Structure 1
Amino acid sequence: MLYAATSAAEKRRVLRERLASGELLRFPGAFNPLSAKLIQRHGFEGVYISGAVLSADLGLPDIGLTTLTEVAGRGQQIARMTDLPALIDADTGFGEPMNVARTIQTLEDAGLAGMHIEDQVNPKRCGHLDGKSVVDLDTAVRRIRAAADARRDENFLVMARTDVRAIDGVDAAIDRAKALVDAGADAIFPEAMRTLEEFAAVRAAVDVPILANMTEFGKSELFTVDQLRDVGVNIVIWPVSLLRMAMGAASRALETLTDEGHLTSRLGEMQHRADLYDLVDYEQYTRFDQDVFTFQVER
């Protein structure tokens, strides 16, 4: 009832254990707490919380306009509703190394299992858009070192994202990834890789887990879980997919409402009230208070 039964510390421990096993973990992107519960119900291994989704949810572009307070608050709302570990996008860390340190501890307190910080220059942009700029290596290293030093739970995952591939090529991205691991990164997120061979090259170059971003309409081909597993990827995310599906469905519903004046023809596409009540575990609440759940939902 209310929130997940698994503690944040236990979620972090389990995530570390599963990453150490070498298996591939699937982290669909949750766009709200309810979708995180749905991800868990469908048997995935984790939940991803995208900075692009958080920005879009506020009606803003993904260019670093969100604040630490907004990101941590929404991250907490999502993470506490699922027993799965939640990995969150912390953009560039919300400032200089001291700000990065505060970011880490704030996200720890919010119940996240880990985060990633990127090496872009502010104002940042989506990793699959052209025209990105990255900070120099020393700045990128100091961000990661500050993050690793600031955490209080040793199992809190500090992941380094590098956007160098789109600027200087895959070899430069590998060199930077190695330096970020040396600085204390527990995992590497090589953004906008174009081929399986590039993922394999990063995998061979570092001895920490790597993440693949399978965002639609981007630079990377949409590889399958099996293809990514075969080249040694450890985490795969679909950061904006559920939001895109939901917004596409919402747009079609509004068009139907405009054209037909009702949504009868769309009922089969909707989540039934009974399924929603089941997902939020409505009946559990009656065990706490018999006056809450006193009805049956007809299908």
Structure 2
Amino acid sequence: MLYAQTPAHEKRRMLRERLASGELLRFPGAFNPLSARLIERKGFDGVYVSGAVLAADLGLPDIGLTTLTEVAGRGQQIARMTELPAIIDADTGFGEPMNVARTIQTLEDAGLAGAHIEDQVNPKRCGHLDGKSVVDGDTAVKRIRAAVDARRDPDFLVMARTDIRAIDGLDAAIDRAKALVDAGADAIFPEAMRDLGEFEAMRASLDVPILANMTEFGKSELFSTEQLRSAGVNIVIWPVSLLRLAMGAADRALDTLEDEGHLTSRLGEMQHRADLYDLIDYEGYTRFDTNVFDFRVER
């Protein structure tokens, strides 16, 4: 009832243990707190909070327009609703290295298990669009050092994302990733890898966990979990998938409402009220209320 019972520091510890095992962890993207709870119920390993989804939820493009307050607030809402660890997209850290430090501490306070900081310039772009630019190596390293130095919980996962593959090629991405690991990054998010061989090359070059972004309609082929596991990937995210599916369903429902005047034909596609009430533990709230308000005030 209410929020998750597992404290944030315990979620972070468990995530570290799972990553140390070398297994592949599956982190679907939650577009709201309720979807995070569904991800947990379906047996996944963690929840991903996408910057692109947060921006889209506000009706904005993914070009760095969201603020730290907006991102941390939504991240907290999602993280506190699930027993699973939640990793959040912190874009470029919302400013210079000092801002990155504040970002990490704010996300720690929000209950997140980890965050990734990227090496794009501001304003950033979606990682699977053309025309991206990245900062120089020194600036990228300073961002990660600031993030690592700022965290208070050593189990908070500081992940470095690099977008340089699309600009200067795979070798540059490997070199940048190595420098970011040397700066203290706990894991690497190599964006827009073209094929499994590139993931394998990244795996062979690094001794920290690596993440694969399986976003639809992007630069990377949509590999299966088994393929990614065989390539040595440790975390896979599907950042926007659930939002895309939900918005697609909403689009079709509105067309039906316009054409037919009702949604009777769509009832089979809807989450039943009973399933919703079960997911939000409606019965638990009722029991709680009954147990607390079990007296009468005599007049």
Q: Give the TM interval when normalised to the shorter protein.
A: over 0.9
| 1:279 partner letter | L
Match of 1:162 in 2: 162
CA–CA distance in 1 between the matches of 2:202 and 2:115? 20
Residue 136 (str. 1) matches residue 155 (str. 2): no
Deviations 1:186-221 (A, max 9, x none): 000000001000000000101000000000000000
- Runs of 4+ aligned residues of structure 1 deviating over 4 Å after TM superposition are none
2:54 alignment counterpart: 54
What is residue 295 of structure 2 aligned with on the other side?
Answer: none
Secondary structure of the equivalent of 1:290? helix
- Cα shift at 1:291: 8.9
Q: How does 1:206-221 map to 2 (within 5 A)?
A: 206-221=206-221
Number of the residue aligned with 2:65: 65
CA distance in 2, matches of 1:265, 1:168: 51
The separation in 1 between residues aligned to 2:126 and 2:101, in whole angstroms, is 23
Q: Matched residues in 1 for 2:202 and 2:145: separation? A: 21
- Between the aligned partners of 2:16 and 2:143, the Cα distance in structure 1 is 22
Distance in structure 2 (CA, Å) of the matches to 1:31 and 1:231: 28
Amino acid at match of 1:88: I
CA distance in structure 2 between the aligned counterparts of 1:19 and 1:284, rounded to whole angstroms: 33
Aligned length: 292
* Structure 1 unaligned regions, length at least 5: 293-299
Query: Helix, strand or coil: the match of 2:167?
Result: helix
Tell me the distance in 2 between the aligned counterparts of 1:285 and 1:122: 45
- Could you tell me which amino acid in structure 2 is paired with residue 18 of structure 1? R
Quote the offset at 1:9 in angstroms. Answer: 0.4
Matched to 1:160, the amino acid is: A
Distance 1:281 1:200 in 2: 43
Partner-residue secondary structure (3-state), 2:120 = coil
Deviation for aligned residue 1:97: 0.5
Q: Does 1:17 align with 2:17?
A: yes
Match of 1:180 in 2: 180
CA distance in 1, matches of 2:190, 2:25: 16
Other structure's SS at 1:39 match:
helix
What is the rounded CA distance, in whole Å, between the counterparts of 1:4 and 1:203 in structure 2? 34
Instruction: Return the alpha-carbon distance in structure 1 between the equivalents of residues 28 and 174 of structure 2.
Output: 26
RMSD, aligned α-carbons: 0.9
Q: TM-score of the superposition, structure 1-length normalised?
A: 0.97
CA distance in 1, matches of 2:282, 2:115: 32
Match of 1:289, SS state, is helix
Give the aligned partner of residue 117 of structure 1. Answer: 117
Question: Deviation of residue 41 (structure 1)?
Answer: 0.4
Counterpart for residue 193 of structure 1: 193
Name the amino acid aligned to 1:43: G
Give the distance between the partners of 2:253 and 2:287, measured in 1 at CA.
36
Q: 1:246-266, CA deviations, whole angstroms, 9 ceiling, x for partnerless residues?
A: 000000000000000000000
**1:290 Cα offset (Å):** 2.1
Percent identity over the alignment? 87
2:281 paired residue number: 281
Aligned to 1:39: 39
Q: Which residue of 1 aligns with 2:146?
A: 146
Counterpart Cα distance in 2 of 1:101 and 1:120: 17
Secondary structure in structure 1 of the residue aligned to 2:227: helix
User: Distance between the aligned counterparts of 1:134 and 1:288, measured in 2?
Assistant: 52
User: 1:248-288 CA deviation, whole Å, 9 max, x = no partner?
Assistant: 00000000000000000000000000000000000011221
Q: CA deviation at 1:238?
A: 0.1
Equivalents in 2 of 1:116, 1:75: separation in Å?
A: 13
Structure 2 residue runs without a partner (length 5+): 293-299
- When residues 64 and 5 of structure 1 are mapped into structure 2, their CA distance, relative to the original with a 3 A threshold, is same
What amino acid is the match of 1:276? L
Q: Which amino acid aligns with 2:264?
A: T
